[in-house]
Amino acid sequence: MRITVPAGGVGAARFLRGLRAAVPDADITVIGNTGDDFAPFGLHVCPDLDTVMYTLGGGISEEQGWGRDGESHVVLSELAAYGAGPGWFGLGDLDIATHILRTQLLAEGRTLSEATRVLCDRWQPGVTLLPMSDDPVRTHVTVELDGRDQVVHFQEWWVRLHAAVPARKIEAVGAATAKPAPGVIEAIDAADFVLLPPSNPVVSTGVILAVPGIADAIRAKTVVGVSPIIGGAPVRGMADACLAAIGVQTSAIAVGAHYGADLLDGWLVDDRDKDAVEAPELAGIAVRNRPLYMTSVAASAEIARAAVELALEVLQ
């Protein structure tokens, strides 16, 4: 079975860990969002790719959901002693090694795909992890700060400002001219179906879909999504703040309708959102409800199994 999964960070990583457990023989390709990438201290950091890689490779901090287990922060403290920032992005020493190596590989002329392969050679995530593009895409957020509109990098809004300042606009700069990374379109075309994990519909899945060619390729396939919204609130993170910026309600129905019937064939929602099953907004989409909290690897595997079963059902 071949499954392709466009992925954001923590939610996607946990879903993928469940998927790998649910269908161990499946050939899984992950298309990682790179719109969150940024370069604190000149180090090329790929938060979403790394969260997937560390989670599937067994190196993740389970407590945080991102970053490395058993982390220390000597380098960051030392950079702070130099007065260098940003200090608000919690780069640990183990994690920094990943970024140093990636930055070195890129400086030597390797693509992000190639660098990702080198890093995965160590972590052996059990999936093929591809960046959505080797071209730079940066998610920028327009916020009102100090009485005027300012454009900040997504990470600054998300991590430093905790998305507490309303976003007026969210833009994936560079997406319109980015090319899908080698293997991305091929992996979608070759897939039996595509699964959308419970990632942020705007800044994760939305950014991946903004790379020309990817959305069209996905629309041609059977697609089942897992709602990142449960009972009117994001399972994790601040997806509500992102949805507000694009005028979409924070509900399983609204997010399903935002993806739409021309993308989605199936939509998995939580039991609390079972009104979505018969919702007219989701006409043409097979909606199923079940518990969606990924409280353990076993729970994630059950959710992933339900997504696979729904995909196989709508495939027929």
Report, in Å, the least distance between residue 37 CB and its own copies.
16
By the rule CB under 8 A, 121 interacts with its own copies: yes
Q: Quick one: which of 5, 13, 119, 137 contacts its own copies (CB under 8 A)?
A: 119
- CB atoms under 10 Å from CB of 113, counted, come to 16
42 near its own copies, judged by CB under 8 A: yes
Report d(CA 120, CA 117) in Å as an integer.
5
Binding of its own copies at residue 173 (CB under 8 A)? no
Q: Which of these, 221, 225, 237, 308, lies nearest to 270 by C-alpha position?
A: 225
d(CA 222, CA 7): 17
Q: What is the CA radius of gyration of the chain?
A: 19
Does 154 help bind its own copies (rule: CB under 8 A)? no
To the nearest whole angstrom, how small is the minimum distance from the Cβ of residue 48 to its own copies? Answer: 19
Q: Which two tokens stand for residue 264?
A: 């989605």
Q: Verify cis geometry, omega within 30 degrees of 0, for the bond prior to 131.
A: no
Q: Which stretch binds its own copies (CB under 8 A): 77-85, 148-156, 182-190, 230-238?
A: 77-85
Q: Are 7 and 202 in contact (CB under 8 A)?
A: no
Among 5, 13, 96, 253, binds its own copies (CB under 8 A): 96
Stretch that binds its own copies, among 28-36, 90-98, 186-194, 275-283 (CB under 8 A): 90-98
* Interface segment toward its own copies; rule CB under 8 A; list 24-32, 80-88, 167-175, 267-275: 80-88
Does residue 43 belong to the site contacting its own copies (CB under 8 A)?
yes
Question: How many CB atoms are located within 10 Å of the residue 131 CB?
Answer: 26
Residue 94, exposed/middle/buried by CB under 10 A (0-12, 13-18, 19+)?
middle
Task: Based on the shown chain and the rule CB under 8 A, indicate whether residue 69 belongs to the binding site for its own copies.
Answer: no
Beta carbon of residue 99, minimum distance to its own copies (angstroms, whole number): 9
Binding site for its own copies (CB under 8 A): 41-43, 72, 74-76, 78-79, 81-84, 93-94, 96-98, 100-101, 103-104, 107-108, 118-119, 121-122
